[in-house]
Structure 1
């Protein structure tokens, strides 16, 4: 049996790479610091249902990704979301002219990552802190001091600031990753016992603390009750309030939401706040992926491309293509 390939991270980029490698007959092993897969496409489960606290939806513009999304749709993994969409500027709400097709995981965003991961061997709650090479093979060390390996190649599929440390064995790659800036986002989920009296399902917000709000139950496959909402703070507000206590973040964004939505907004029956330190890259890049084929060390992620879910998937495909090409 061939020596497996290690993939660090089970977000869209890592899962895309792994799927392509497995389809090519290669053996992969995943390592994930969280308890579940999906990265920024993860969903939060609670007593009031699930909430998509990270990526709210995705679009498919590249033909290759569009074809894959249609396959996911046929398998019941995704559905088209056609929200009553608004935009807000200077406190004024108006219908959004944006008519692009939006896709969401069904019955939650994390359903896509769970389906892609399937039964592939994965070490969850395992934070890799070092990637090092022995005489012939790669090895990983986790935060508990445990070593994993050997591996023929390693794919680092984490946000750029985390990837730069794991790419230390390839200084040029590490330097590129270290130069990528990523913005934070505070995300808040709110549930209300009675539906709010508004036609709004989603809203792009300009100015103030909020950047985006979405009615979770308007997405296909979601629970009809209770009335749950996801609020995303702007990158600027998140950056200036990075260490604010979760309760204070929730209170601030709840207040902004109440002013925005144009109807009575009571105290929520449930609330949760999550801080995404590396929510999105500040700019797009055209690398596709990074790699040193001779060393067998690679990196992929949305930060190598467009910064979107589609970009992450394409980056994973590119890193797999490079590995397969080098083996031929």
Structure 2
């Protein structure tokens, strides 16, 4: 009996790969260090409703991803989001001319990855620290020293800095991953009992501490009595404040938001800060996925492609396709 295929990481790249392999009739097993799936597409449940602290939306350009998007739409996991979109530049807010379709998970971003996971076997709260190959199979070791296996192949679907040590058995792949720079992002959620008096529902910020902010409540399916907002700091600001206390991050970004939103901003009723240490690659790449097919080791993620949600999904799809091609 053929050993299953291990996938480390249950973000959209890992789940894309798992979906392709499972559809082709292969047994897969996932490992995820967090308590839930989704990675940066995960949503935070809170007393003020579900909050999309990571990916805010996604776009679709590649035909393969558009096909997947249409399937998710038909299943009710994805809806179009058409916010009143603005940009902040030179000290003023103006309507954005960017009219490309934007999509969100419904009722939260994590609906997509939850659908991809389905009933596939997964171990949550398990951080894999070592991947090593015996005479015929792969074995994984977690942070508690427990071994998992045997596995016929391994797909590593984690951010590049986390993938690098796991690729030690393939030094050339490890060297490529080690050269990838990932940027951090501080994300802050604010909730107000009364709606802010502004027409803005999403905004690209061209200066200052913030890179983006959005009225989280205006996304379809986000039911809450509060006016909820999510703010993303720039990569530069996030690097400078990487180890700042969460309450200080909230205070500073709340202040920056209040200065540019163009209306009275009271003290929020609820705040939350989350640091994405590896939010996005500093630059896009065209690898698709990394592979040592003869060894049976693969790596994927947004850092192998465009850095966008679509890039992460395509990278996982590419890793699984290369694995299947090698098996033929």
- Tell me the TM-score range normalised by the shorter chain: over 0.9
For residues 20-50 of structure 1, the C-alpha deviation after alignment (integer angstroms, 9 at most, x for no partner) is: 0001000000000000000000111111101
Aligned residue in 1 for 2:95: 95
TM-score (normalizing by structure 1): 0.99
TM-superposed CA distance for 1:224, in Å, is 4.4
SS in 1 for 2:188: strand
TM-superposed CA distance for 1:90, in Å, is 2.7
2:270 aligned with 1:270: yes
2:124 aligned with 1:112: no
Aligned residue in 1 for 2:40: 40
TM-superposed CA distance for 1:225, in Å, is 2.1
Runs of 4+ in 1 over 2 A off after TM superposition: none
Separation in 2, partners of 1:73, 1:54: 21
Aligned residue in 2 for 1:153: 153
Aligned residue in 1 for 2:28: 28
1:217 touches 1:225 (CA, 8 Å); kept in 2? no
Aligned residue in 2 for 1:195: 195
For residues 248-301 of structure 1, the C-alpha deviation after alignment (integer angstroms, 9 at most, x for no partner) is: 000000000111111111111111100001000011111100010111000000
TM-superposed CA distance for 1:136, in Å, is 1.0
Aligned residue in 2 for 1:180: 180
The within-5 A match list for 1:272-291 is: 272-291=272-291
For residues 199-235 of structure 1, the C-alpha deviation after alignment (integer angstroms, 9 at most, x for no partner) is: 1000000111100000011111111421100000000
Aligned residue in 1 for 2:255: 255
Separation in 1, partners of 2:224, 2:240: 35
2:71 aligned with 1:71: yes
TM-superposed CA distance for 1:119, in Å, is 1.0
Aligned pairs, number:
328
Separation in 2, partners of 1:37, 1:90: 39
2:62 aligned with 1:62: yes
2:132 aligned with 1:127: no
Separation in 2, partners of 1:33, 1:143: 10
For residues 299-323 of structure 1, the C-alpha deviation after alignment (integer angstroms, 9 at most, x for no partner) is: 0001111110000111111111111
Aligned residue in 2 for 1:241: 241
2:48 touches 2:224 (CA, 8 Å); kept in 1? no
Separation in 2, partners of 1:94, 1:126: 46
- Structure 2 stretches lacking a partner, 5+ long: none
SS in 2 for 1:148: strand
Aligned residue in 1 for 2:209: 209
Separation in 2, partners of 1:66, 1:224: 30
2:187 touches 2:231 (CA, 8 Å); kept in 1? yes
Superposition CA RMSD, Å: 0.7
1:31 touches 1:127 (CA, 8 Å); kept in 2? yes
Aligned residue in 2 for 1:303: 303
Separation in 2, partners of 1:190, 1:42: 18
- Structure 1 stretches lacking a partner, 5+ long: none
2:322 aligned with 1:322: yes
TM-score (normalizing by structure 2): 0.99
The within-5 A match list for 1:10-21 is: 10-21=10-21
